[in-house]
Structure 1
Amino acid sequence: MKPRRKTQAEAYRKGISKGEIPVLSRAITLAESTLPEHKKLAQEVITWCLPRSGKSIRVGITGIPGVGKSSFIESLGLYLARECGKKIAVLAIDPTSSETGGSVLGDKLRMQELSRHENVYIRPSPSAGSLGGVSKKTSDAVILCEAAGFDTIIIETVGVGQSEITCHSMVDFFMLLMITGAGDDIQGIKKGIIERADAVLITKADGRNKKKAELMKQEMEEALRFHKPPESGWVPKSYACSSVTGYGIKEIWQCVEEYEKLCRESGYFMEKRKKQAKYRLHEALAQNLEDSFYENALIKKTLGEVEREVMEGKTDPYTGAANLLDLYFEKLRLPPSSEEK
């Protein structure tokens, strides 16, 4: 009797459980695919991985372009891998052009030393225009990486703004990186980001800029005291750091560990993750409904006409939307079953 051939799902499960990076990479690519057959297989693999995930600390990092996110992640990652024996997955979300669909996946180039470490996995991923520049598939990638044995997940986002709520909803600890002289408005101070930060880091605190960075750190400490205390009971901290000299890196990770200890002991850590899972459920429902609406053949046929009527002032946007939704749900309505007759 010939031995049974392994199914694709079994091959993925075996490779991920062994921490095989090529298999992990293929599984994440599968989860990012929009092909129906890939979606089905990806969901089967992720469902298997789910109970084997959740054992990592998830850290989100955001800041304006040029603040030094990639350099900071490399410095922090090398410290964690070399000094703390951590196994790190960096999910670096790359901006995708809304016009060309292109994506500059350059994070491995910017983190060359870190990417060569045997206990580090860097996965650049196009954001595909999703809210906050964080790919809607990032949460799947987190589950897959955790099931593969990574105990520290770092999610780097593009830019800052209200959209970074998406990243905040995926992580345990949220860092905002800032630089001296860039202006509060530009760096997101008045856009609600700082209220969500568990730590504010002033980067490039080296050379002549170190004194300015230390001064800004003190100013941020004062500013953080005026914000409403978070539900976790944690008091957000401010640090000055340098990716060049390593200044402040150890202290920043000690801050993350202190936060994790406090929140695990209070029960907030797991409660927050439950709320995040609920948030992603509703996010997925909204996305799937939107996809179903725009992929509907009748909507595709009618949408252009309604758009023209709205642009010409013949129909207001709200009536146009209501009519399209009525058309969509009418098309979905099934004939009554024999039990209902």
Structure 2
Amino acid sequence: MLSSDDISQTMQDLVAQETGALEQPATEPLESFPRQNSRQGALSERRHSLRQQRQTEELPKITSTAPTAGTRAAWKQVLHLREANRRLRDELETRKVEFEKELLAIHKGHQQEIEYYQQHLQEAMNESNRLREVHLELELRYQELYHSFEDAVSMETQKRLAQATQTPGTNAGETPALEQEASQNSGYQAKEEENKHLVEAMYLKREVQRMAELLESEQQQIEEERQHWLAMQATVREQAKLRYKTLHTRLGARWRARAAFIAIGVLALLVVLQLLFLDLLRIPWAGSIAIALLAPIVVCIVMALILVSPFSTLMQKYYAIMPHKKRVKQSA
């Protein structure tokens, strides 16, 4: 196929030959006419051959339309992948915001429950302290009553003995009888007072025991409620952590899968563009060129799939657990 430069050069030669033939003098002999006729026939044959070549061969403009359409399709695919990536990022941000809102609501509700039960526990502790103070007051009152009873008995006994010894007009025979009667009366009164104080003391003791049992039951109930809410708090915290880990793992896996899909799509687009530009530049296709172009792309695709797969995460965890030389030296 002739290029545009060859065609222009041929047309210039033809024009030069025609102008040269026209510039010959009119006084030339008649023998030059057959030579001019032969030149004109050659020129006409050459023009005819050039027309046939133009009709049979491909024009360079036809080949230029195909890469333009392919390039537009490639750019459309790149724009589509970019829009998909932007949409996935927006969706990821939306999911993150929703998860943070749910986590904040759970944390707020849990904090309100903790404050409520802390207030309830504080009220129970205040009631326990009040009952303890009442118990101490009853103990002090019991001790005061007991000491006052002993003092009253001793004072009454001394008073009766003093009256019996200081009574005038009593003879020696009547003195022991009066002393015996005074001692009996004082003994009866002392016994009555003692019984009275004993009944009061037993009543106070029963009240103290009842209050102590009530206080102990209240403390036990408060402790059980505290343990229950601590267990519930731990359960809620574990559920929140588990939900966070599940959502984080799910979003990470989805993001890795989409990233791998986009990377594979971009690599496939790269292969298409490479083939398109090879065809556009009319570079001869060879096995070495195909291997040089496709082998790195295939290796990158395989490595991307391996890194995205759970096997890579397992190997990373195993590598992080294994002891290293630097750590062993530092510990030594």
State whether TM-score is above 0.5. Answer: no
Q: TM-score range by the shorter chain?
A: under 0.3
Q: What TM-score do the two structures reach when normalised by structure 1? A: 0.19
Higher helix share: 2
Higher strand share: 1
Q: What TM-score do the two structures reach when normalised by structure 2? A: 0.20
Which structure is higher in RCO with an 8 Å CA cutoff and minimum separation 6?
A: 2
**Bigger Rg over Cα:** 2
